[in-house]
Chains A and B, each alone.
Chain A
Amino acid sequence: MIWLLAITVWVTVSAGAYLALSRDVFRCVLGLAILGAAANLVLFAAGRLGPALPAVVPLGDEVLGSAANPLPQALVLTAIVIGFALVCFSLALVLRLIQRTGIDDALELRQAEPQPTDPVKPPYAGEGFDPVWPGSAPGKGGST
């Protein structure tokens, strides 16, 4: 069972990292949301898998017998709530960003960078700058 969870974490992290590295800002924040889900799975697995009984001390007993570890569940619940709020914020942010700038490509998003016309600094390579990314057709740029 723990191996199944480990493989799930591995697949989720890979998918999240792949999307988070995308140049499309929407995919990027979705990738982070998926990475968050992977982190929650790790947190859950940290409490050991085992009995699935609820952590309730039966009437008359003094000690908790074999039951699921409730602490990671509480932690995951907290992390889910926080992660949910952050995903909502990030989607609103990206939507506003695209509306305001009309750009959804992280490489072209240079509003906060020094202006390319600045004479003292090396200028941004400009419109003709079209690096060939691995895995994309040459000359087309990597428009993932």
Chain B
Amino acid sequence: MSALAVTPVLVPLVTVVATSLTQHQPRLQQALSYGGVLLFLGCALALVGGAAVDQPAQAVFGGWGVPFGIEFLVDRTGAALVLITALMGAASLLFLASDADPGPRHPLLLPLIHGVLAGVGGSFATADLFNLYVWFEVMLICSVGLFALGGRPDQLDATFKYFVLNLFGTLLLLMAVGMVYAVTGHLNYGAIAQAMPEVPHGVATLVTAGLVLAFLIKAGAFPMFAWLPASYHTLPAPVLALFAGLLTKVGVYAVLRTLGDTMASSSQLLYEALGWIAAATMLLGVLGAAYHWDMRRILAFHIISQIGYILLGIALGSEAGNAATLFYTLHHIVVKANLFLIAAIIWRLTGSYDLRHIGGLYRLRPALGVLFLIPALSLVGIPPLSGFWAKLLVLQEAIAQGRVAWTAVALLVSVLTLYSMMKIWMEAFWKPHPDATWRMPVSTRLLPAWLATIGLALVTLCIGLYPQWLLDYSIAAAQTLGGR
């Protein structure tokens, strides 16, 4: 029993309460919010430190003992994701202090952001299926709150679409959790993993398929991704970066927990199906991106496309595949959030997200052009950036298993990703501005935005130049999962 195991939930929740109570004192609220996220970061580092030496933080509630009480267990996988969650929270809150598309300053903005962090942290920390459902609901209610906070008609429209499709996924998840309980008699991950091989084959496949389907809706996989591009672009940039980095990855993590850990005894059919879903997700996501000219819409479609790669790692159903998935997820959260943040800086300097109405930034801000290329080329997978190693790990395992079709799709999608990223770079930075009278805004407050984006770019570079420590960590994490 260690109190550290509940900190991914406790710290953000306390911050939610503290920032809600100080709504009318913006400065105090701001200070409490920074304090909360720094404490969260510290606790996450302690969790990783514990998990890395095989002493995962564990807490069981209610005095029931392990398989019956609600358990929080932060193993290597969970700890790394909690750490990256805290990092993303810190980057978004820092970015919020700049004037690059922060949206209207509603007094409930900070409490809701910390609420999302609590939901995400709880999902990564818990070891109980029903508890996972509860954290998904916490995430859902806080995120629809953030969508609706602006109150513009397009934001309300986006809220409605996001809410309806996600609520449908949540209800499916609730039913599937009920089914898992019905066939195994357990909700604890470890107990499910032990009980699952005893369940008749057909029933187990059906139940697992229902659960994975619910998680795939949350992850934004083909063909259930419609909620994502329909809503994300209406958010203010710091919140958008947080969502883009974290929310879909929680769905992916849940799939990893299910097919890579607790229900790894599932039939090969499910892995095969997941592989084709992953290939379709990659391809359709990137094609959707190629069609758009709004930077936020392009990047939103690339979230979907990259989810395909991550799911492909799980579909390979091996330890190396799971390790690749974890590596890819960690790299991708940083890169994706950073791209959205840099897009917001571009918006601040040029006044539009639409690539057809902007240009000429390279002459005025060459540093921004280089900064954009770091996450953009990492997303494509150009060596020596972090995305190269992530893709290499996934594709190496795919080829080792003889999955030629999936590998070919993945490589094709990389080329199309390069096209999209170069489209943004050529249009926003290289081509002259279409309006000859355009001048950059004179006074901007972009220092916090620069700090946040450069910090995230440094993380990307660090993973890219020294991948071995993260790779070792991911492989060790995959070994502690109950994969095949």
Contacts and interface: CB of A to CB of B under 8 A. Distances in A.
B134 A78 contact: yes
Nearest to B137: A82
Q: Chain B contact residues: over half helix, strand or loop, or mixed?
A: helix
Contacts of A121: 291
Interface in A14-53: 20, 25, 28-29, 32, 35-36, 38-40, 42-43, 45-48
A4 interface: no
B452 to A, nearest CB: 26
Given A86-B137, A112-B233, A101 B153 contact: yes
B130, B167, B231, B356: residue with the most chain A Cβ atoms closer than 10 Å: B167
Contacts, number: 105
Contact of B168 (A20, A38, A110): A20
A93 B134 contact: no
Tell me if A's interface is mostly helix, strand, loop or mixed: helix
User: Among the interface residues B134, B141, B157, B231, which one has the most CB atoms of the partner chain A within 10 A?
Assistant: B157
Given A100-B151, A114-B297, 16 more contacts: A32-B168, A32-B171, A39-B174, A42-B178, A42-B179, A43-B175, A46-B178, A72-B178, A72-B181, A75-B130, A86-B141, A93-B156, A101-B153, A110-B157, A111-B154, A111-B158
A28 B168 CA distance: 11
Nearest to A98: B156
Nearest to A96: B156
Interface string B103-143: 00000000000000000000000000010011001001100
Contacts of B356: 120
B177 A43 contact: yes
Interface residues of B, number: 40
Contacts of B14: none
B144 interface: yes
A24 B460 CA distance: 46
A46 B182 contact: yes
B243 to A, nearest CB: 15
Interface in A91-113: 93-94, 96-97, 100-101, 109-113
A85 B360 CA distance: 49
B276 interface: no
Contact of B175 (A20, A42, A110): A42
Contacts of B144: 89, 93
A32 B166 CA distance: 11
15 contacts: A39-B171, A43-B174, A43-B177, A47-B182, A48-B182, A82-B134, A89-B163, A90-B163, A96-B148, A96-B156, A97-B153, A97-B157, A100-B156, A112-B230, A121-B291
B15 interface: no
Q: Which of A38, A94, A111 has the most CB of B within 10 A?
A: A111
B182 A112 contact: no
B419 interface: no
B268 to A, nearest CB: 27
Interface in B266-322: 291-294, 297
